[in-house]
């Protein structure tokens, strides 16, 4: 057993004891009321989920196991001379709540390498799809194709105590995460590079290997590490995390659960916004006939977008009420590596232009940029201009957060999710509306 798995096993009894005690002694304590508006506004603000893996403060942004993004990037181990920490170390942090040693990171890396080989039938499945299939559909199908490998299903069918569910869930999650970067890069090269596939090099760490398989030179390896870490987790109410949790709550294995979660990530209001941002900026440049639109041209384009009833992609958030620190981290990377990139300049100008316009329009509760406003421009700079692909990379990163979440769901005995619904008649009656 790896130190990471042993660590989870050793932490479990104390966490279980806390949950049992909380439920036994305080199970009836009320956390908050539910308003009628929340039945129709996507349950915004209803406190009814729990995770210890990350927490999102509206003004501070995300904390991974208690660490802010700058703290996470500073504390996690990295390769000698590397700018960004190992993805493997972040996985260890998310799963155990502890910053790993170099030795522990090395062990995670070796463990993922052992699990990394993708069976040939996955490639056959992908090759059987029409080439114009969206890469997110391909990614989701590739994950589903692997479902027959589920250790959880096998052990469940053999008969297993519910206290042990987390163990095969862990095995499945590691087996799946170990292959995701290879499947993502395969989709990219198959779809956009004439099927010229680059084999994985398992002597490399996760981020570097991804850059290698994408065929993009350094510092794309540094970017990949940063990208996967930043996109990993955003507490449990966002569509991809919540869907993964919901599906897993039926004891569906992690292949079914992650694939479902990523189908949610593929929506333009969620992860697909990163491709929308690039599409929108390209549209801006094309319509204005220049790579360097003026402030006035940009303002007009923003207003035109709003007046046509569309959202400004990459801006606004359901929880955040300030600039997303994931945006800030990517901006820091860009200032160092691509300060003169024309699209980066447009992205920077939009940061000054969009928020006052959204405030003037008066609808969006948060006028500031989110993670998706910045991720595409960096990919574009390194030649990954096929923006349909961007959400797949978001998905690889997101898996690193949601898979640990469902392992811990099993470990702490979270029940099948089943909230109660009411009819409009009932809500009108509660509201005292006479008909
Ligand atoms: N541009 C224009 N209008 C907006 C925007 C925006 N960027 N953000 C919110 N609004 C509108 C929203 O459509 C709603 O309008 P209406 O009353 O007509 O329905 C109104 O402002 C109130 O919405 P909020 O309560 O501020 O936002 P909500 O929590 O409902 O939605 C998002 C959050 C993220 C879905 C929303 O801000 C949005 O659509 N942003 C653009 C898409 C985007 O960037 N998504 C990525 C989010 C991050 N991620 O990776 O998932
Ligand atoms: C995310 O990373 O999931 C998005 O920012 C959406 C959210 O948190 O609601």
Q: What percent of the chain has pLDDT over 70?
A: 100
- Range 386-420 burial, b when 16+ CB lie within 10 A, else e: bbbbbbbbbbbbbbbbbbbbbbbbbbbebeeeeee
Helix ranges, 97-237 (H): 102-115, 120-127, 135-145, 151-158, 166-192, 206-214, 220-230
SS3 content of the chain, % helix, strand, coil (to 5): 60, 5, 35
Q: Does residue 365 register a pLDDT over 90? A: yes
* Among protein residues, the one whose CA lies closest to atom 9 of ligand 1: 364
* Among protein residues, the one whose CA lies closest to atom 9 of ligand 2: 238
| 150-174 confidence digits (pLDDT tens) | 999 999 999 999 999 999 999 999 9
Secondary structure (3-state) at 237: coil
Report the candidate in 350, 382, 431, 48 with the shortest Cα–Cα distance to residue 219: 382
Active site residue 270: yes
Active site residue 212: no
Secondary structure (3-state) at 195: coil
Both tokens assigned to 74: 């500073």
Pocket of ligand 2 contains residue 370 by CB under 6 Å? yes
* Cα 270 to ligand 2 centroid, rounded to whole Å: 7
Residue pair 63/51 in contact (Cβ under 8 Å)? The answer is: no
Q: What percent of the chain has pLDDT over 90?
A: 99
| 270-315 confidence digits (pLDDT tens) | 999 999 999 999 999 999 999 999 999 999 999 999 999 999 999 9
Residue pair 182/396 in contact (Cβ under 8 Å)? The answer is: no
* Cα 231 to ligand 2 centroid, rounded to whole Å: 9
* Among protein residues, the one whose CA lies closest to atom 2 of ligand 2: 234
The residue-averaged pLDDT of 64-83 equals 97
Quick one: which H or E segment has residue 248? Answer: helix 239-249
Question: How far is it, in rounded angstroms, from Cα 185 to Cα 210?
Answer: 7
* Among protein residues, the one whose CA lies closest to atom 46 of ligand 1: 270
* Cα 255 to ligand 1 centroid, rounded to whole Å: 30
| 315-354 confidence digits (pLDDT tens) | 999 999 999 999 999 999 999 999 999 999 999 999 999 9
* Cα 147 to ligand 2 centroid, rounded to whole Å: 26
Catalytic residue among 234, 372, 381, 409: 372
Secondary structure (3-state) at 353: helix
* Among protein residues, the one whose CA lies closest to atom 37 of ligand 1: 316
Q: Which of 364, 391, 395, 397 to mutate to test the pocket of ligand 1 (most atoms within 8 A of CB)?
A: 364
Question: How far is it, in rounded angstroms, from Cα 345 to Cα 347?
Answer: 5
Question: How far is it, in rounded angstroms, from Cα 12 to Cα 411?
Answer: 7
- pLDDT given for residue 199 in this prediction: 98
To which residue do tokens 């996690």 refer? 76
- pLDDT given for residue 144 in this prediction: 98
Band of residue 261 on the pLDDT scale cut at 50, 70, 90: very high
Catalytic residue among 212, 270, 374, 381: 270
Band of residue 435 on the pLDDT scale cut at 50, 70, 90: confident
- Mean pLDDT score of the chain: 97
Question: How far is it, in rounded angstroms, from Cα 289 to Cα 296?
Answer: 14
Residue pair 200/213 in contact (Cβ under 8 Å)? The answer is: yes
Q: Which of 60, 231, 264, 317 to mutate to test the pocket of ligand 2 (most atoms within 8 A of CB)?
A: 317
Whole-angstrom CA distances from 327 to 129, 228, 331, 342, 368 are 34, 14, 6, 18, 10
Question: How far is it, in rounded angstroms, from Cα 241 to Cα 61?
Answer: 17
| 313-325 confidence digits (pLDDT tens) | 999 999 999 999 9
Active site residue 231: no
* Cα 87 to ligand 2 centroid, rounded to whole Å: 20
Q: Which of 42, 227, 234 to mutate to test the pocket of ligand 2 (most atoms within 8 A of CB)?
A: 234
- pLDDT given for residue 158 in this prediction: 98
> Which residues, at least 6 apart from 415, have a Cβ–Cβ distance to it below 8 Å?
249
Q: Is the previous residue joined to 219 through a cis bond, with omega within 30 degrees of 0?
A: yes
- pLDDT given for residue 335 in this prediction: 98
The residue-averaged pLDDT of 88-109 equals 98
The residue-averaged pLDDT of 91-102 equals 98
- pLDDT given for residue 314 in this prediction: 97
* Among protein residues, the one whose CA lies closest to atom 1 of ligand 2: 234
Residue pair 329/73 in contact (Cβ under 8 Å)? The answer is: yes
């Amino acid at each position: 057993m790896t130190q990471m798995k042993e660590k989870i096993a050793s932490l479990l009894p104390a966490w279980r004891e806390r949950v049992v005690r909380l439920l036994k002694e305080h199970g009836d304590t009320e956390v908050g009321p539910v308003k009628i508006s929340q039945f129709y506004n996507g349950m915004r603000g209803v406190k009814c989920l729990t995770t210890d893996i990350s927490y999102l403060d509206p003004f501070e942004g995300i904390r991974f196991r208690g660490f802010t993004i700058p703290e996470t990037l500073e504390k996690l181990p990295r390769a000698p001379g590397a700018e960004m920490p190992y993805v493997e170390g972040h996985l260890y942090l998310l799963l155990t709540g502890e910053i790993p040693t170099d030795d522990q990171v090395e062990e995670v890396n070796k463990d993922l390498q052992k699990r990394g080989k993708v069976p040939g039938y996955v490639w056959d499945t992908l090759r059987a799809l029409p080439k114009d299939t969206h890469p997110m559909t391909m990614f989701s199908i590739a994950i589903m194709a692997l479902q027959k490998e589920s250790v959880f299903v096998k052990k469940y069918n053999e008969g297993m105590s519910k206290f042990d569910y987390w163990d095969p869930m862990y095995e499945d999650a590691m087996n799946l995460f170990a292959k995701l970067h290879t499947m993502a890069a395969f989709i990219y090269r198959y779809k956009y590079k004439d099927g010229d596939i680059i084999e994985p090099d398992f002597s490399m760490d996760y981020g570097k290997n991804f850059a290698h398989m994408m065929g993009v030179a350094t510092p794309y390896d540094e970017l990949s590490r940063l990208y996967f870490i930043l996109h990993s987790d955003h507490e449990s109410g966002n569509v991809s995390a919540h869907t993964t949790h919901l599906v897993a709550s039926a004891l569906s294995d992690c292949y079914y659960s992650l694939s479902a979660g990523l189908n949610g990530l593929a929506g333009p209001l969620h992860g697909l916004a990163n491709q929308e941002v690039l599409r929108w900026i390209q549209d801006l440049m094309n319509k204005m006939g220049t790579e360097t639109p003026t402030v006035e041209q940009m303002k007009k384009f923003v207003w035109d977008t709003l007046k046509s009833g569309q959202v400004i992609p990459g801006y606004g958030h359901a929880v955040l009420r300030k600039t997303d620190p994931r945006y800030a981290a990517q901006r820091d990377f860009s200032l160092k590596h691509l300060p003169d990139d024309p699209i980066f300049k447009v992205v920077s100008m939009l940061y000054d232009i969009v928020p006052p316009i959204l405030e003037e329009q008066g609808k969006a509760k948060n006028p500031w940029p989110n993670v998706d406003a910045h991720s595409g421009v960096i990919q574009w700079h390194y030649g990954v201009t096929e923006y349909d692909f961007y959400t797949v990379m978001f998905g690889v990163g997101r898996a690193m957060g949601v898979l640990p979440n469902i392992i811990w769901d099993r470990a702490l005995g979270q029940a099948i999710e089943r909230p109660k619904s009411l009819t409009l008649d009932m809500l009108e009656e509660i509201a005292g509306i006479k008909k």
